[in-house]
Structure 1
Amino acid sequence: MTKKLRVGVIGAGIAARHLIGYDWNKDLFEVPVLCSLDADRGRELCEKHGIPQYTQNAEELFARNDLDIIDVSTPPDSHFDLCKRAIESGKHVICEKPLFGSIADVDEMSRIVARSGKKLMPIFQYRYGSGLQKLKLLIERGLAGRPFMTTIETHWWRGPAYYEVPWRGKWATELGGGLLGHAIHAHDMLNYVHGACAEVFSYGETLVNKIEVEDTMALAVKMQNGSLATLSMTLGSRKEISRLRFCFHDLVAESILEPYTMGRDPWTFTAGTEEHQKRVDEVLAGYEPKEDGYTRQFELFHQALMDDKDPPVTLQDARNSLELVTAAYYSQRTGQPTPMPITSDHPLYRSWLPEEERRLAANA
């Protein structure tokens, strides 16, 4: 018989999408309590999803012994403390992106998790779109060949109204701009396909809105597997698109342009010869569709907990993602290519916040 895991959710913003994922996995999860400082949104979500208890006090969730998982879906600056307290209270943790505000925090959380025997899963739900999963399948079958070049565009629109939410657009609370908060999913898909990055050179600017953080950025990346990538992000594109294009020796894979579900079908897979195209098409014909997004990631997390295996998205995955962010911010500020991995002697290891914001945060 399948064990149903009990989840306490903290947050009422992006948490709404998490709750849909739990609803689609009702045989695997139940949500008995939701915590949010926003009473109107919190109570509305409880009513909509049949959650019996609402609270504004996260301590109540940590103190309960009938919860298996704490789901952290709050603004980024609160993630580390909530994850730490949840792990130390004996719960597994699911945490939204961006996970934390430094590589040092990721490394410290890895030590906390290792001591606890619990598991922490960062959110990267875009990985589970069927288009991207088909590319992974073709690579596993040896049909892609050596990787050459990847191009990723995250071109969205965010006007002034978006930044009326008090924590957005500020270093101290959002921890970064479009590179960290918007393009992070697409860039994780780069790491998911090719592994870790080796070096980045970047330009970044604040061009679209009067905010503290960047809203437009261009990156040139060397991957550890020897391939190259160009990544562009702007929140000033009136036509919103996300585009991923992977060039291999034997195959080109291209995503759809839909900005928020670009991992989903229909992707196109173009081989170099008719004979190879036939082999590609035969493998794709045998692909078994799964649920995607949060639904699939939560399903895989349940399986990992039951089998005592690593989560489908790990702290190392989050580290790879945040290393790219850290290196890009450092390159932007120094005008120099920045190698990875980011180690404890790197100037931005403990924070990529600009010096003034870092000082204010330390004194807060």
Structure 2
Amino acid sequence: MSSPLRPPYRVAIIGTGAIAAAHATALTELPDQATLVAVVDVDPSRAEQFGTQFSVPTVYTDAAEMLDAEALDLVHICTPPQTHGPIALQVVRSGVAALVEKPTALSLRELDELAAAQDEHGAPVLTVFQHRFGAAGIRLRQFAEDGRLGRPLVATCNTLWFRDDAYFDVPWRGRWNIEGGGPTMGHGIHQFDLMLSILGPWAEVSAFAARQSRPTDTEDVSIALTRFENGALATVMNSVVSPRETSQLRFDFEHATVEVEHLYGYQDAHWTFTPALGHEHLATAWAESPSEEVSSHRMQIAAIFDAFTNGSEPGVSLTDARRTLEFAAATYASAFRGETICAGQLVGTDPFTRSMDGGMVPWKPVKNVAV
């Protein structure tokens, strides 16, 4: 960190696309914790417009120039996916913590390079997985960790969204070399990251992926069957061809079923808790301290600043992010190879450590976009 670990923290944003507004809005809601002091975009007019909208004192068109000029504690990286890894590497090498929009990187190899830089320069690389920080998600994680729900048995994780053909007119969407993958990497990753944070390390994945109808190089649907180290079994479905959009998670423990259905962010009201016979007291405990907050960027960013101040490890750490990215890589590897993939199997020179498609997509790319 470039300044003492006490608020307000000096923060910058690189990239001013749609998601950057969520970051900037969250920061304006945390005035005692942070000050947005700089913004970067390669488009000068867009940078100026964003700076004006969010009262940012200094705008830049070059990240290196900004990193040289500003004393910073945290840099938010809100650029297209293919740039996440290289920019995060640049930020960390300057000794500043990086908060990266998902996915952290486009490959396991790129993520491991970030881990090495993190260790060398002592600046953490964090990933935006805001659903971990919703009140009910935190409560479920605590209930699962302290054992009061009993053993996890079965889970389902569905991200069933709809994106029409026009959505993919944006050049970086639906391209392996730019976005890294389809709904497995760009949409469902938030839901199955939350699932992984509840159920712990996964052991093996068996999956299918297909391009059903969208004009993409990537899949538009994937389905995975997963076994966890604790013996739990789960199904994970990711789609952008589903007209009734929903995000669903269901966990069946020995002593209760816990479910959530929402779309892009949940509140306590989106959750249902059903105790098994003889465990009705768990429902009473679940209902304590209700929250109307939506799982959001603000909640994760506030937790990061709290960790900075308390000297604890902020989330979501690169270790946790790697487990999630490895799950995505295993889904693709299983689907394209037609075999079960075990945790830790994708290492060394395996093609799926270099890219999510592993160089073996079974369908012909729709477009080739020069980058």
Aligned residue among 109, 114, 117 for 2:119? 114
TM-score (norm 2): 0.90
Q: Provide the residue aligned with 1:62 in structure 2.
A: 67
Q: Provide the residue aligned with 2:338 in structure 1.
A: 335
Farther-moved stretch of structure 1 (46-55 vs 222-231): 46-55
1:227, distance to aligned residue in structure 2 (A) = 0.4
Identity value in percent = 28
Aligned residue among 314, 318, 338 for 1:315? 318
1:162 and 1:40, CA in 2 relative to 1: closer, same or farther beyond 3 A? Answer: farther
Give the 3-state SS of the residue equivalent to 1:355 in structure 2.
coil
Length, aligned pairs only? 358
Deviations 1:165-219 (A, max 9, x none): 1111111111111110000000101111011211111111111211100111111
User: Are 1:72 and 2:82 an aligned pair?
Assistant: no
The AA in structure 1 aligned to 2:276 is: G
Q: Provide the residue aligned with 1:191 in structure 2.
A: 196
Distance 1:281 1:238 in 2: 36
Counterparts in 2 of 1:253-264, with a 5 A limit?
Answer: 253-256=258-261, 258-262=262-266, 264=268
1:283, distance to aligned residue in structure 2 (A) = 4.6
Distance 1:270 1:190 in 2: 18
Distance 2:187 2:21 in 1: 18
Distance 2:175 2:351 in 1: 21
TM-score (norm 1): 0.92
Q: Provide the residue aligned with 2:288 in structure 1.
A: 285
1:159, distance to aligned residue in structure 2 (A) = 0.7
User: Which structure 1 residue ranges, 5 or more long, are not aligned?
Assistant: none
Aligned residue among 271, 282, 304 for 2:307? 304
1:291 and 1:325, CA in 2 relative to 1: closer, same or farther beyond 3 A? Answer: closer
Distance 1:172 1:120 in 2: 22
1:80, distance to aligned residue in structure 2 (A) = 1.3
User: Are 1:169 and 2:174 an aligned pair?
Assistant: yes
User: Are 1:18 and 2:11 an aligned pair?
Assistant: no
User: Are 1:8 and 2:8 an aligned pair?
Assistant: no
User: Are 1:91 and 2:91 an aligned pair?
Assistant: no
Counterparts in 2 of 1:189-228, with a 5 A limit?
Answer: 189-228=194-233
1:288 and 1:161, CA in 2 relative to 1: closer, same or farther beyond 3 A? Answer: closer
User: Which structure 2 residue ranges, 5 or more long, are not aligned?
Assistant: 362-367
Distance 2:191 2:252 in 1: 16
Distance 2:290 2:243 in 1: 35
1:11, distance to aligned residue in structure 2 (A) = 0.8
User: Are 1:353 and 2:365 an aligned pair?
Assistant: no
Aligned residue among 243, 247, 252 for 1:247? 252
Conservation of the 8 A alpha-carbon contact between 1:196 and 1:320: yes
Tell me the C-alpha RMSD between the 2 structures. Answer: 2.2
User: Are 1:28 and 2:28 an aligned pair?
Assistant: no
Q: Provide the residue aligned with 1:265 in structure 2.
A: 269
Conservation of the 8 A alpha-carbon contact between 1:130 and 1:265: no
Give the 3-state SS of the residue equivalent to 1:255 in structure 2.
strand
Farther-moved stretch of structure 1 (37-46 vs 10-19): 37-46
1:291, distance to aligned residue in structure 2 (A) = 7.0
Counterparts in 2 of 1:100-139, with a 5 A limit?
Answer: 100-139=105-144
User: Are 1:180 and 2:188 an aligned pair?
Assistant: no
1:264, distance to aligned residue in structure 2 (A) = 4.8
1:313, distance to aligned residue in structure 2 (A) = 0.9
The AA in structure 1 aligned to 2:109 is: A
Distance 1:132 1:263 in 2: 9
Deviations 1:41-89 (A, max 9, x none): 4333222211122222112222124222211111111111111111111
Distance 1:292 1:180 in 2: 20
Distance 1:118 1:53 in 2: 23
1:141, distance to aligned residue in structure 2 (A) = 4.3
1:332, distance to aligned residue in structure 2 (A) = 1.0
